[in-house]
Amino acid sequence: MITRRTVIASSLALCATSAIAAAPARRGRLKQSVSRWCYQDMPLDALCAAAARIGLDGIDLLQPAEYAVPRRHGLRCTMGYAADIMTIPNGLNRRENHAAIERAFRIGIPQTAKAGVPNVIAFSGNRRGLSDAEGADNTVAGLNRLKRIAEDHDVTICVELLNSKVDHPDYMADHTAWGVRVAKEVASPRVKLLYDIYHMQIMEGDLIDTIRKNIDWIGHFHTGGVPGRHNLDGTQEVDWRAVARSVADLKFQGYFAHEFVPVGDPLTALAQAVRTCTV
């Protein structure tokens, strides 16, 4: 039976939900952003407006044609796609890909620099029978062709670490140690790792200690609840506030980008994630 009391209670709950999504978050020590692809049903302008209200600093993973949109809302694109020819399965670990990737980056990195985008994403590619050692050597060779372009334009190339257990079978850069080896050998301040916490929790766990030991080689973070890559809430196995605090304690100056598929009201989920990671 619907009563006046239940109507009032429902209205209060709706108002509370709207307030969570709309109220700006307290500014913390981490610069937080959000990945565009997780909110594909929302126009980019609307996502940017909401992100600005929630207290985010930018939007992650945009194409060059989209770089200007966040600026209309006082934000920036925090990571861009500068070489569409490079994909998760087809990346830097094969030398036959290097020339085409270099050509794409010679166009894409100046575009990102002009737009004030600090980072571009890169992928190792799948193994396809290639040993990890040979794949690492090939990736180093490819990045050595690219690093001067990045250095000249003050843009950081971030090689993403992904899990090969659940989401990306056969992906090569599936452990931190592999990525750190590559970054150390390239030895450029403009070649770093994109440490995806969701993926590395699945592959390795031991998140906080691994981050502390390798922070010099990490240029960017992604979040996502484990299991399922959903909201950063009590249904997940990662203590997100502890992870965020550990990253902030290391004086990390890059971006901590939310890359989870929201369950329920998407902006409420995003606002809650931002609050959880505001330390």
For the ranges 3-7, 32-36, 235-239, the lowest mean pLDDT is seen at 3-7
- Measured between alpha carbons, how far is residue 194 from residues 69, 85, 218, 230, 272 in Å? 23, 19, 6, 19, 23
Q: How confident is the model at residue 12 (pLDDT cuts 50, 70, 90)?
A: very low
Given this model, what pLDDT does residue 89 score? 98
Cis bond upstream, residue 227 (ω within 30): yes
Given this model, what pLDDT does residue 3 score? 37
Q: Is 129 helix (H, G, I), strand (E, B) or coil?
A: coil
Would you identify the CATH topology of the domain 30-276?
TIM Barrel (3.20.20)
Q: How confident is the model at residue 27 (pLDDT cuts 50, 70, 90)?
A: confident
pLDDT in tens, 209-221: 999 999 999 999 9
Which of 175, 100, 181, 89 is CA-nearest to residue 134?
Answer: 181
Indicate whether 270 pLDDT > 80: yes
What is the C-alpha to C-alpha distance for residues 56 and 48, in angstroms, rounded to an integer? 9
Indicate whether 202 pLDDT > 70: yes
Indicate whether 21 pLDDT > 70: no
Give the burial class of 96: count Cβ atoms within 10 A of its Cβ; 0-12 exposed, 13-18 middle, 19 or more buried: exposed
Indicate whether 1 pLDDT > 80: no
Q: Is 232 helix (H, G, I), strand (E, B) or coil?
A: coil
What is the C-alpha to C-alpha distance for residues 157 and 101, in angstroms, rounded to an integer? 12
Indicate whether 142 pLDDT > 70: yes
pTM for this structure?
0.90
What is the C-alpha to C-alpha distance for residues 73 and 213, in angstroms, rounded to an integer? 36
Q: Tell me if 92 sits within 8 A of 138, measured CB to CB.
A: yes
What is the C-alpha to C-alpha distance for residues 276 and 34, in angstroms, rounded to an integer? 14
Given this model, what pLDDT does residue 26 score? 65
DSSP code for 25: P
- Measured between alpha carbons, how far is residue 103 from residues 107, 159, 187, 247 in Å? 7, 18, 22, 35
pLDDT in tens, 143-177: 999 999 999 999 999 999 999 999 999 999 999 99
Q: Which two tokens stand for residue 128?
A: 């396809």
- Measured between alpha carbons, how far is residue 169 from residues 129, 165, 239 in Å? 12, 6, 26
Mean pLDDT of all residues belonging to the chain: 92
Beta strand 255-258 pairing with 31-35: parallel
Q: Which position has the token pair 């981490």? A: 30
